[in-house]
Amino acid sequence: MEIYVLSLLLLGVLVLTETWAGSHSLKYFYAAMSQPGLAKPRFISVTYVDDQQVLSFDSDRESQSTEPRTPWIKQEIPDYWERETQISREATQRYRMCLQKVSSYYNHSEGGVHTYQRLSGCEVFSNGSFSRGFVQYAYDGQDYLALDTETLRWIAGNTGALNNKLKWEADQSVAKYWKGYMQEECVYWLHRYLENGKQTLLKTDPPYVQVTRHTSSDGKVTLRCRAQDFYPAEISLTWLRDGEEQLQETELIETRPAGDGTFQKWAAVGMLSGNEQKYTCRVQHEGLPERLFLKWEPQSSSVGLSAGVITALLLLLAAVIVGVVIWRKNTSDENRGSYITTESSDSAQGSDVSLTAKA
Ligand SMILES: *[C@@H]1O[C@H](CO)[C@@H](O)[C@H](O)[C@H]1NC(C)=O
Ligand SMILES: *[C@@H]1O[C@H](CO)[C@@H](O)[C@H](O)[C@H]1NC(C)=O
């Protein structure tokens, strides 16, 4: 306990000197799931710092241990892993019981397909100071209870949660515990993770954006603005028509993980053929020095690429011809001839590479 308080004091000093671009969050996801034929509900927990998964635990795994999900967390000391594993194992028991109890509030029989989830965590401003905390529960995918951190009241998602709400509000220590936890312990861990993982956590990958055009069988045209390879997940894609935002007309998919730690998203807008040039896609992302504005280009990048390849091939052909001519001129001196040929094809390869890179 003393060590912990000391760390917080040290941290106070750290906060004053350090700034992290943008706000940051630490999130814990818990889920207990029951299923017919399963003796005990399965329990899973995952921990995220910003949009990066850091830890995971699964009661189905043989190890029954909390495991690293990102390279930098592996540097944590053995005590850390013991503590995390202990927390996860206890949570497994507790959330199995909670699931049973909450199911009974809904008059659901034991052993059906049911889930009980919790999301908790905190956010800090870019200067490192606490910005907000949250704890919310869900049963069968519906809001169950959420803490209003201002009033310390629990907000019930539906009547099934009322019983539990009254219970937790009769004893203010539950809400007070959470409030203290969010502002201190959660912020302590978030700072520690941001410090240890700063090389990947604080790195931004700007989106690679492309506008593609699609025609449906009835002749309607869709322009799709696709962003990929970006981190963090927060991004804004907006279609503008003659400078005006087309929010109603835009189909936007939820930002999705690519699986390699980066994210993808697209926004599509429909129009009559011939109007394509009136539309601009506006992209905002932390990794971009300024907003991007993109239009559909009839000479799409694939055409550009093949033009580049053709040019490269022509250059290569020219180089070969020159080489052959030079070689012929120098048949009397074989060594010199082959030397010049090699040099020519080298330079042709050089232009090939640079053209491909540009395209
Ligand atoms: C569960 O059953 C009891 C008794 O039949 C009833 O009073 C209660 O409203 C039911 N709860 C829900 C959430 O349907
Ligand atoms: C940190 O930033 C927030 C929001 O920008 C501000 O309200 C707060 O006072 C700042 N805290 C410190 C210690 O500078």
**Pocket of ligand 2 contains residue 127 by CB under 6 Å:** yes
Q: How many Å lie between the centroid of ligand 1 and the Cα of residue 41? A: 23
Q: In the predicted model, is pLDDT for residue 111 greater than 50?
A: yes
**Pocket of ligand 2 contains residue 125 by CB under 6 Å:** yes
List the residue whose alpha carbon is closest to atom 8 of ligand 2: 129
Q: Taking the CB of residue 346, how many other CB atoms lie within 10 A of it? A: 10
> Domain 12-201 belongs to what topology?
3.30.500
Torsion over CA: 164, 131, 94, 106 (sign): positive
Structure tokens at 30: 């818990």
Which of 51-65, 130-144, 170-184, 341-355 is the least confident region? 341-355
Angle in degrees, CA 287, 293, 297, rounded to 5 = 120
Q: What's the average model confidence in pLDDT over 138-142?
A: 96
Between CA 153 and CA 158 the distance in angstroms is 15
Between CA 47 and CA 53 the distance in angstroms is 6
Report residue 21 CA to chain centroid gap. 16
In 3D, which of 59, 77, 76, 57 has the Cα closest to residue 67? 57
Between CA 262 and CA 258 the distance in angstroms is 6
Name residues whose C-beta falls within 8 Å of residue 233's C-beta, 6 or more positions apart in sequence. 51, 255, 257, 263
Q: In the predicted model, is pLDDT for residue 90 greater than 50?
A: yes
Q: Where are the domains of the chain?
A: 12-201, 208-297
pLDDT of residue 320: 57
Q: How many Å lie between the centroid of ligand 2 and the Cα of residue 131? A: 9
Structure tokens at 174: 């539950």
> Cis omega (within 30 of 0) on the bond before 232?
yes
Q: In the predicted model, is pLDDT for residue 354 greater than 50?
A: no
Structure tokens at 73: 């967390």
Amino acid symbol at 359: A
Q: In the predicted model, is pLDDT for residue 59 greater than 60?
A: yes
Strand-pair partners of 121:
27, 134
Q: What's the average model confidence in pLDDT over 312-327?
A: 55
Q: Ligand 2: which of 24, 127, 183 to mutate, most ligand atoms within 8 Å of CB?
A: 127
Contact 203, 21 (CB under 8 A): no
pLDDT of residue 316: 58
pLDDT of residue 201: 92
Pocket (CB within 6 angstroms of ligand 1): 106-107, 159-160
pLDDT interval class at 298 (50, 70, 90): confident
pLDDT of residue 323: 55
| pLDDT one-digit tens code per residue, 277-288 | 999 999 999 999
pLDDT interval class at 39 (50, 70, 90): confident
User: How much of the chain, in percent, has pLDDT values that exceed 70?
Assistant: 77
Q: In the predicted model, is pLDDT for residue 306 greater than 90?
A: no
276 vs 13, more confident = 276
pLDDT of residue 22: 79
Torsion over CA: 337, 342, 348, 351 (sign): negative
Contact 27, 108 (CB under 8 A): no
**Pocket of ligand 2 contains residue 130 by CB under 6 Å:** no
Radius of gyration for the alpha carbons in the chain, expressed in angstroms and rounded: 29
Between CA 85 and CA 66 the distance in angstroms is 5
Q: How far is CA 259 from each of CA 28, 229, 254, 267, rounded to the nearest angstrom? A: 19, 10, 15, 20
In 3D, which of 152, 155, 132 has the Cα closest to residue 144? 155
Q: How many Å lie between the centroid of ligand 1 and the Cα of residue 160? A: 8
Between CA 97 and CA 32 the distance in angstroms is 9
Angle in degrees, CA 111, 112, 115, rounded to 5 = 100
Structure tokens at 55: 């830890």
Ligand with the closest atom to the CA of 127: 2
**Pocket of ligand 2 contains residue 19 by CB under 6 Å:** no
Q: What's the average model confidence in pLDDT over 167-178?
A: 94
Q: How many Å lie between the centroid of ligand 1 and the Cα of residue 158? A: 13
Selected from 3.40.640.10, 2.60.40.10, 2.40.50.220, 1.10.10.10, the CATH number assigned to the domain covering 208-297 reads 2.60.40.10
